[in-house]
Chains A and B, each alone.
Chain A
Amino acid sequence: MCGINGIFAYQTAASDPEEAELLATRDHMSARGPDGLGAWRSPDRRCALGHRRLSIIDLSDRALQPMTSEDGVQVVVFNGEIYNFPKLRAELEANGRRFRTTSDTEALLHLYAVHGPDMVHHLRGMYAFAIWDQARGGLFLARDPYGIKPLYTANDGWTFRFASQVKALLAGGRVSRDPEPAGIVGFHLFGSAPEPFTLYRDIRALPAGHTQWVDAVGPREPRPFANLAAILADGARRPAPLAELNARVRSATLDSVRAHLLADVEVGVFLSAGIDSGAVLGLMRDAGQQRIRAITLTYDEFKDTSEDEGPLAKQVAKTYAAEHILRRVSEREFRADLPAILAAMDQPSIDGVNTWFVSKAAKEAGLKVALSGLGGDELLAGYPSFRDIPRWVGWLGVTSLPGLGGTLRLLADAFSPGLHKRDPKALGLVELGGSYPGAYLLRRGLFLPFELREHLDGELVREGLRRLRPLKRLASSLQPDPGSAIGRVSALESANYMRNQLLRDADWAGMAHSLEIRTPLVDIATLENLACVVPLLSAALGKRALAAAPARALPDEIVERSKTGFGVPSWYFATKDPGALALKKGVASRARALDVLKLDQPALPSSLASAP
């Protein structure tokens, strides 16, 4: 886990990259890589690469980056981890490649030399990297299939730039801050800017699961190499028997956790009172990890409520003989850290505060790496959305005649003035609830598209929606059709909420504390292994299978505990009023939509304290 950046003056008219810009961008990411730094320039000085290192595999200086191939033809900067590195190395060495380090970074150089851009098909891990190819005079970039690791690019028509963070690109001083309406509108719709957009017109994310080539003409369109929906669709075509569910989940998750323990430093774990992190901890024990330190956050404000994760987490830690670190976060600390949180937040987010504190606690414990249960809900149908969305689509699918929903919304608003303010999601039900993308937007939306004009400039909204095309963008997460209702929701959740919100938050909040957060339940090999059982899942089935995955299953109290999310009592810190957040429109509208549909959701306000 590191920070990478680069500048490639591909147009002849452009000036050589400036050292000051390269270093300003690189060193803005110093928290991403406190263990080492480096910079490199191509012989013609037209390409410059920078790197900040958090050393985790091969701690020696020989693994410093930018790393050049033995023949000097390729140079790589890499952020992330390649979990199948030992296997790749053995294969490469068997084919005559000679390694100078024990770093997974070097494997990227060898793989590129052997396979070229197709190298990405051999990788299992979380990664964002760039390889300068001297022989072809271009830059090759790649980002992992789930988008765990970030990679942002900026192209002004003369010079191409990239970095691990948006703010790092801006810190270089050469990238425009002109706003991107699609990013701003997207943030208001989803609570995070949906990739590839950012808040800035000239900065875009390289989409997850894509590669990009940049040569003397400039950047080419990113090319996809992995597709979550396609993997789910493939699984749906060869469904496994239900009787195999538990065995398959155990096998796949144990394999993933074992792979994610690859490190030359200690690997800890974030532990909540939920199934996902508890199972990861149990599987760490099964995988043979000796010393395991597990970190749990508690808040006084949650004491004696179902939100307090401390007691149950302690029980789980005891079950697996982990050293348990219970870290209390006070309101005072929350307030003191808030400016730093906002500064570290690379792009605006409505979440991530909890990850900040648990990462801080991990760093205090001296950890550089921690596993997280993030992704369990998306993989194993843990969210209420897996139940709600197919149900809504089933009920409302018949109303999805073009224009009908919008007309009904306008009529309802005319006959019941103010309804759009009281219950915007009820108003949007017929219009959106009849399709998977629409129902997903209804479920996850902070605001709905027709609400935006009340909060943002009309021209900005029009332009933002036109550029973003939110429903079409969501629909693209379902190409090809994942083949089952659960698969569709899984693809939507994984490629949108998880990618743009959870994983991004994990990156900035972890990296701010120089902590690498690893997510064994967000792993392309695991998805491939489990895609055949996804169509069978329900919330109870999937999570129970995960709870049973460790050799010693999770305690019943954990399995039976209702889902609470990973909450911070920020609403209480801010207002001292437990119900105050219900007055806030976006979250309230989401809650009301659930209420309108008379689903058995937890009562307000506890369900509002955190993202679902």
Chain B
Amino acid sequence: MSSGARILALVTSAFGGGGGIAQYNRDFITALSACSSVGAIDILPRQRSAEVAQMPARTRQLDAVHDQFAYSVKALEIALRQRPDIVFCGHLFMAPLAAFIAKLFVSKLVVQTHGIEVWPRPTVLQRVAVEAADLVLCVSRDTLARVIGWTAIAPERVVVLPNTVSEVYAPGDGSALRAELGLQNKTVLLSISRLDAEQQYKGQDRVIRLIRRMRDQGHDVVFLIGGSGDDQVRLETLARDEGVAEHVRFLGEVPNPQLPNLYRAADLYLMPSAGEGFGIVFLEAMASGVPALGLAVGGATDALLEGDATAASDLESALAGRLAAAKPDPAALAARIRARFGRPVFQDRTARIFARLLAADMAIAA
């Protein structure tokens, strides 16, 4: 047994899981495992995931337990065995359980908040759990403001740890894929997200409504939509109604290894979403050298610091402006993204945050 801090991570999904939250949890736990003060990390996911070939050092992911009651029992069982120094709660929904375990085993409690789950007012149990936390991590400034808005926690315990972006997203030649897709000489707009009928805020519909006008202005625009889900039918219908169906292409689920190349094939990553806790896809696009445009709503403002964040009412003019402007130098854009959000930055910040958490005196530097 290592002498460092023992961490019990209660997460919805992490290694082998899909989606932004799983990605964040992977990035975070990987960074945490590299901290010298960390001894062992036990991860208990809720959702089943793909096989994982290799886990970070000192990290173990247990079998997923979906049932809420069974998950709670399992978490308690692990805690009883592991006696965690820190309980890391990867989602607000599990904060009451995490707070209970932390209280029971006198562990420090860390609650991770992502995005829209903190937009509505939480339940009393969730709020009380967050207020009991030693540290609340937020992916963006917007998430922090919302958490501080509904908790009575000391604001200094609420800390932003933004998303990071993998090195696989880097500038490159996307012309082969463009040729393969028949997109030479086209202006390629790209959006990647789940197409969830319950998450219609991603904004592909806003883009579809603008395609006709962009084309009328002389831009030979094609809109690529990556991702799958039950909202696709609505978007397809909208594209037909707008008379732009031939300029909108649904790519379906895009496997992770193909994403970098897809980004590189685009001229603009365009996702006018009104519900981003952060929007890691903006980072992935810009790290791939592609400019990004979205709405200045929620956490997207942070992700779009090197891109364009606009009000929904100004989307058309912002898009027209971006299409008329010269494309930024891909290497310079990617470098700026890495300087702000690269993995070394994320690793360093994670280490500093946990050093402070584990320090005996949280109040002031020694």
Spell out A's residues near B (CB within 8 Å): 11-13, 15, 117, 136, 138, 155-158, 176, 178, 201-202, 204, 211-213, 215-223, 466-467, 469
Q: Which of B248-277 contact A (CB under 8 A)?
A: none
Identify which of A156, A204, A218 contacts B145 (C-beta below 8 A). Answer: A156
A-B contact pairs, 7 of them (CB 8 A): A11-B349, A12-B345, A157-B145, A158-B141, A201-B149, A217-B352, A223-B364
Question: Nearest CB to that of B365 among chain A residues?
Answer: A213
Question: Nearest CB to that of B339 among chain A residues?
Answer: A12
Identify which of B305, B339, B356 contacts A220 (C-beta below 8 A). Answer: B356
Report the minimum CB–CB distance from B72 to chain A (whole Å). 28
Q: Is the CB of A221 within 8 A of B352?
A: no
Question: Nearest CB to that of A204 among chain B residues?
Answer: B155
Provided the pairs A156-B141, A157-B138, A178-B149 are in contact, do residues A211 and B364 lie with their beta carbons within 8 angstroms? yes
Identify which of A11, A15, A202 contacts B160 (C-beta below 8 A). Answer: A11
Q: Which of A12, A204, A211 has the most B CB atoms < 10 Å from its CB? A: A12
Note all chain A residues with C-beta closer than 8 A to B364.
Answer: 117, 211-213, 220, 223
Sample of 11 further A-B pairs with CB below 8 A, known A202-B145, A466-B152: A11-B162, A13-B162, A13-B302, A13-B305, A157-B144, A157-B158, A178-B145, A213-B363, A217-B159, A221-B154, A467-B152
* Contact string against A for B residues 341-360, beta-carbon threshold 8 Å, 1 for contact and 0 otherwise: 10001001100110010000
Provided the pairs A213-B365, A217-B352 are in contact, do residues A156 and B159 lie with their beta carbons within 8 angstroms? no
Question: Nearest CB to that of A154 among chain B residues?
Answer: B155
Identify which of A15, A155, A217 contacts B356 (C-beta below 8 A). Answer: A217
Question: Nearest CB to that of B158 among chain A residues?
Answer: A157
B26 CB within 8 Å of chain A: no
Q: Is the CB of B159 within 8 A of A13?
A: no
Note all chain A residues with C-beta closer than 8 A to B138.
Answer: 157
Question: Nearest CB to that of A181 among chain B residues?
Answer: B149
Cα–Cα, bound, A219→B302 (Å): 20
Report the minimum CB–CB distance from A122 to chain B (whole Å). 17
Q: Which of B113-155 contact A (CB under 8 A)?
A: 138, 140-141, 144-145, 148-149, 152, 154-155
Report the minimum CB–CB distance from B288 to chain A (whole Å). 18
Q: Is the CB of A218 within 8 A of B363?
A: no
Provided the pairs A15-B305, A156-B145, A466-B152 are in contact, do residues A218 and B345 lie with their beta carbons within 8 angstroms? no
Secondary structure of the A contact surface, majority rule? loop
Cα–Cα, bound, A201→B145 (Å): 8
Question: Which are the 9 A-B pairs with shortest beta-carbon distances?
Answer: A157-B160, A223-B363, A157-B144, A13-B340, A157-B141, A213-B364, A221-B156, A12-B345, A223-B364
Cα–Cα, bound, A176→B162 (Å): 20
Q: Which of A13, A138, A467 has the most B CB atoms < 10 Å from its CB? A: A13
Q: Is the CB of A117 within 8 A of B141?
A: no
Q: Is the CB of A155 within 8 A of B155?
A: yes
Identify which of B148, B302, B365 contacts A201 (C-beta below 8 A). Answer: B148
Q: Is the CB of A215 within 8 A of B365?
A: yes
Q: Is the CB of A117 within 8 A of B156?
A: no
Question: Nearest CB to that of A11 among chain B residues?
Answer: B160
Report the minimum CB–CB distance from B365 to chain A (whole Å). 5
Cα–Cα, bound, A111→B149 (Å): 38
Cα–Cα, bound, A156→B159 (Å): 9
Secondary structure of the B contact surface, majority rule? helix
Note all chain B residues with C-beta closer than 8 A to A215.
Answer: 365
B206 CB within 8 Å of chain A: no
Note all chain B residues with C-beta closer than 8 A to A155.
Answer: 155-156
Cα–Cα, bound, A203→B141 (Å): 15
Cα–Cα, bound, A12→B348 (Å): 10
Cα–Cα, bound, A117→B361 (Å): 14
B362 CB within 8 Å of chain A: yes
Provided the pairs A211-B364, A213-B365 are in contact, do residues A12 and B141 lie with their beta carbons within 8 angstroms? no
Note all chain B residues with C-beta closer than 8 A to A13.
Answer: 162, 302, 305, 340-341, 345
Q: Is the CB of B152 within 8 A of A157?
A: no
Cα–Cα, bound, A219→B356 (Å): 11
Note all chain A residues with C-beta closer than 8 A to B144.
Answer: 156-157
Question: Nearest CB to that of B160 among chain A residues?
Answer: A157
B157 CB within 8 Å of chain A: yes
Identify which of A138, A202, A211, A220 contacts B362 (C-beta below 8 A). Answer: A220
Cα–Cα, bound, A218→B365 (Å): 12
Note all chain A residues with C-beta closer than 8 A to B160.
Answer: 11, 157-158, 218
Report the minimum CB–CB distance from B251 to chain A (whole Å). 30
Note all chain A residues with C-beta closer than 8 A to B345.
Answer: 12-13
Q: Which of B149, B157, B341, B352 has the most A CB atoms < 10 Å from its CB? A: B149
Question: Nearest CB to that of B162 among chain A residues?
Answer: A13
Q: Which of A157, A220, A221 has the most B CB atoms < 10 Å from its CB? A: A157
Provided the pairs A12-B340, A13-B302, A216-B352 are in contact, do residues A157 and B157 lie with their beta carbons within 8 angstroms? no
Q: Is the CB of A218 within 8 A of B362?
A: no
Cα–Cα, bound, A222→B352 (Å): 19
Cα–Cα, bound, A463→B110 (Å): 24
Cα–Cα, bound, A138→B366 (Å): 12
Note all chain A residues with C-beta closer than 8 A to B363.
Answer: 213, 220-223
Provided the pairs A13-B341, A221-B154 are in contact, do residues A157 and B159 lie with their beta carbons within 8 angstroms? yes
Q: Is the CB of A176 within 8 A of B152?
A: no
Note all chain B residues with C-beta closer than 8 A to A204.
Answer: 155
Note all chain B residues with C-beta closer than 8 A to A11.
Answer: 160, 162, 349
Note all chain B residues with C-beta closer than 8 A to A220.
Answer: 156, 356, 362-365
Q: Is the CB of B302 within 8 A of A218?
A: no
Cα–Cα, bound, A136→B364 (Å): 12
Note all chain A residues with C-beta closer than 8 A to B155.
Answer: 155, 204, 219
Cα–Cα, bound, A196→B156 (Å): 13
* Contact string against A for B residues 28-53, beta-carbon threshold 8 Å, 1 for contact and 0 otherwise: 00000000000000000000000000
Question: Nearest CB to that of A176 among chain B residues?
Answer: B145
Cα–Cα, bound, A467→B363 (Å): 21
Question: Nearest CB to that of B337 among chain A residues?
Answer: A13
Q: Which of B149, B348, B362, B364 has the most A CB atoms < 10 Å from its CB? A: B364
Note all chain B residues with C-beta closer than 8 A to A178.
Answer: 145, 149
Note all chain B residues with C-beta closer than 8 A to A466.
Answer: 152
Report the minimum CB–CB distance from B286 to chain A (whole Å). 13
Question: Nearest CB to that of A156 among chain B residues?
Answer: B141
Q: Which of B285-320 contact A (CB under 8 A)?
A: 302, 305
Question: Nearest CB to that of A459 among chain B residues?
Answer: B121
Cα–Cα, bound, A219→B339 (Å): 22
Cα–Cα, bound, A155→B144 (Å): 10
Cα–Cα, bound, A220→B363 (Å): 5
Q: Is the CB of B302 within 8 A of A117?
A: no
Report the minimum CB–CB distance from B281 to chain A (whole Å). 17
Question: Nearest CB to that of B138 among chain A residues?
Answer: A157
Report the minimum CB–CB distance from A19 to chain B (whole Å). 18
